[in-house]
Amino acid sequence: MPDGDLRMSEWYGQLQDSIGLSTDPITYKTPSARIAEPGTYPYYHSVLAGMITSVDTLAILAATFIGASVEPAIIHQDWRVAQPLADLMSALGFLMLPKNRRLLHVPTVQDFSAQVRYLTPPLLAGALLHVIVLYMLHHPIVPSFELALTWLAFSTGVLAVVRGTETVLLSRPAIANQLARNVAVVGSDDAAIRLAARIGEEAGSTYRMIGVFDDHDTALDPTATTGTLDDLIERSRETPLHAIILAIPPSTDPIDHVAEINWRLRSVLADVYVLPNIVHGIDVLLPIERLGPFALLVLQRRPLSDWQIVKKTVLDVFLGAIALVMLAPLMAAVAITIKATSPGPVFFRQPRLGFNNRTFMVFKFRTMFTDKSDMMAARQTARDDPRVTPIGKWLRKLSIDELPQLLNVLRGEMSLVGPRPHAPHTRAAGMLLDDALAEYVIRHQVKPGITGWAQVNGARGQLVTLDDLRRRVELDLEYMQRWSLRFDLKILMLTVVREVFSRHAF
């Protein structure tokens, strides 16, 4: 194993110390024979729940506005001040009352009775606040109830229309397919096969079983598996994979077995779970999550949730579009200068490894002579590199050559902030980057960025030694762990302050 790798034995030890696993022999128990009813595999889709909550907010505000336009016809002049206040408090009461988030799970959110249970308490609370506000302002109780019922009727009607429309949309096959969670099972004994079969049969459209995977040299029944672990990793590059369940048979050293598989899956963009009856003690110290009737222990989570990805994407598109418009005159001037000073195209397009290890073409201003360009980056750019044009030297010095990557951001291939993408043939200490450092591939679990936490901390430029690569990867992984919108904005500001005229740029 290369020196840059985190030693597997050390990693096992860290896992064992952190979760206190026991290596005592165990008795393996197969999944419960209890049969679950179809549709009993709900899960929380943060993006869908956020959208429904936002639409509910707009619906209740619209209903309040409509009601306010009708209510003046049935109230006296001296109610004109109290009534808007009562409407406002009713709307706030609906929005602020704690709600049962489980009723927004997929597919529960499509159930009529679940929607009634979710909406009824806040609607009644809003109507009650309406009465209380008017009563406290010394208005008669009977008219106050009438006006509260008016607000309640409009709010219920608008929400009924909105939720009915949402239910119809969610039942459409195209949307249902997008909401389905893809699941894979790792294992090859009878328990793993039956677990996969149960999920496939019982989960309906909520979960989609991709297959059962296990290496042929360890598989108890290779004919019952879909492929090997390498096949699973390759499959994850093409098909979104949301959950991997380790249902491996017991071994004499379950800690090593679980840790080895989890380490091999480190580059896969999916949550990784293990059945709690595989090893002792793990169920006390690891988070527990349910998948239908099964309680699973969480070994690995994706670095960003669906909702965090949406927020980051909105920030990227919003700021990226503004930056592209504001910098358009500068970019046009640079394009004219490049074209006038050396033959060849304005842009240099190069394959880079991006999100989920997928290759994309990055845009940069051309800074090298066309006949000396290195498409696959077999040789990294060095200081005073003779391949760089006189204009290109300054473009690289000022990091202006990176500006066309705003197009990659708007195309969804990159983010404004994230680990810098490298060309497939980039090397450190003579080795390809993913061979030089095993943790390197984890960076691909988020979109690459124009700038990043490593860059603003001086870890940029040519990768010469394993220490150069190790420091850059450490900072990239720290960024993934600390991610927030505020952190992204901080890095963008530090980029402007620190990276213009950076001594690391050449």
CATH number of the domain to which 230 belongs: 3.40.50
Our measurement of the distance from residue 453's CA atom to the centroid of its chain's CA atoms, rounded to an integer in Å, reads 19
pLDDT digits (tens, 9 = 90+) for 130-166: 889 888 877 788 878 888 898 999 999 999 999 999 9
Question: Are 336 and 469 contained in the same domain?
Answer: yes
The residues, any chain, with a CB within 8 Å of residue 117's CB and separated by 6 or more, are 100, 103
pLDDT score for 225: 86
- With beta carbons less than 8 A apart as the criterion, state whether 369 and 389 touch: yes
Q: Identify the three-state secondary structure at position 218.
A: coil
Q: In this structure, is residue 38 part of a structural domain?
A: no
Question: Are 193 and 97 contained in the same domain?
Answer: no
The residues, any chain, with a CB within 8 Å of residue 226's CB and separated by 6 or more, are 210, 211, 212, 213
pLDDT score for 142: 82
Question: Are 13 and 71 contained in the same domain?
Answer: no
Where residue 104 falls (left for φ over 0; alpha for ψ -120 to 50; beta otherwise) is alpha
Map tokens 């419960």 to a residue. 32
pLDDT score for 4: 40
pLDDT score for 380: 62
β-pair type (243-246, 271-274): parallel
pLDDT score for 309: 94
The residues, any chain, with a CB within 8 Å of residue 70's CB and separated by 6 or more, are 150, 154
Question: Are 296 and 352 contained in the same domain?
Answer: no
d(Cα 5, Cα 258) in Å, to the nearest integer?
Answer: 19
d(Cα 184, Cα 242) in Å, to the nearest integer?
Answer: 9
Tell me which of 302, 320, 355 is where a domain ends: 302
Q: In this structure, is residue 175 part of a structural domain?
A: no
Question: Are 96 and 186 contained in the same domain?
Answer: no
- pLDDT means over runs of 10, the chain (506 residues): 40 40 36 47 92 95 84 52 83 92 92 94 93 83 85 94 95 91 91 91 89 81 84 91 89 77 91 81 71 89 92 96 96 94 91 91 90 64 76 87 95 96 84 87 94 90 85 95 96 84 52
Question: Are 186 and 58 contained in the same domain?
Answer: no
Taking 3-state DSSP, the helix, strand and coil percentages for the chain, each rounded to the nearest 5, stand at 55, 10, 35
Question: Are 319 and 414 contained in the same domain?
Answer: yes
pLDDT score for 21: 37
Q: What are phi and psi of 459, to 5 degrees?
A: -90, 75
d(Cα 491, Cα 319) in Å, to the nearest integer?
Answer: 13
Tell me which of 270, 302, 334 is where a domain ends: 302
Q: In this structure, is residue 111 part of a structural domain?
A: yes
Question: Are 314 and 405 contained in the same domain?
Answer: yes
Question: Are 163 and 236 contained in the same domain?
Answer: no
Q: Which amino acid is at 126?
A: G
Q: In this structure, is residue 2 part of a structural domain?
A: no
Question: Are 329 and 477 contained in the same domain?
Answer: yes
pTM strictly above 0.85: no
Torsion sign over Cα 428, 430, 433, 437: negative
Structural domain count, the chain? 3
- With beta carbons less than 8 A apart as the criterion, state whether 128 and 94 touch: no
Q: In this structure, is residue 143 part of a structural domain?
A: yes
Torsion sign over Cα 449, 453, 244, 296: negative
pLDDT score for 487: 97
Torsion sign over Cα 449, 451, 457, 461: positive
- With beta carbons less than 8 A apart as the criterion, state whether 457 and 497 touch: no
Q: In this structure, is residue 505 part of a structural domain?
A: no
d(Cα 443, Cα 150) in Å, to the nearest integer?
Answer: 55
Question: Are 187 and 135 contained in the same domain?
Answer: no
Tell me which of 142, 170, 198 is where a domain ends: 170
Q: Crossing angle, helix 82-96 and helix 112-136, to 10 degrees?
A: 140
Token readout for 190 is 């009878």
pLDDT score for 79: 57
First CA to last CA across the chain, in angstroms? 33
Q: What is Dmax (Cα atoms) for the chain?
A: 88
Angle at 115 between CA 109 and CA 121, to 5 degrees: 135
Q: What domain range is 73 assigned to? A: 46-170
pLDDT score for 136: 84
DSSP count for the chain of H helices, then E strands: 17, 12
Q: In this structure, is residue 1 part of a structural domain?
A: no
DSSP 371: G
**Concatenated DSSP letters of 282-346:** HHHHS-EEEETTEEEEEEE--SS-HHHHHHHHHHHHHHHHHHHHHHHHHHHHHHHHHHHHSSS-S
Token readout for 330 is 């500068």
Question: Are 20 and 112 contained in the same domain?
Answer: no
DSSP 347: E
Q: In this structure, is residue 37 part of a structural domain?
A: no
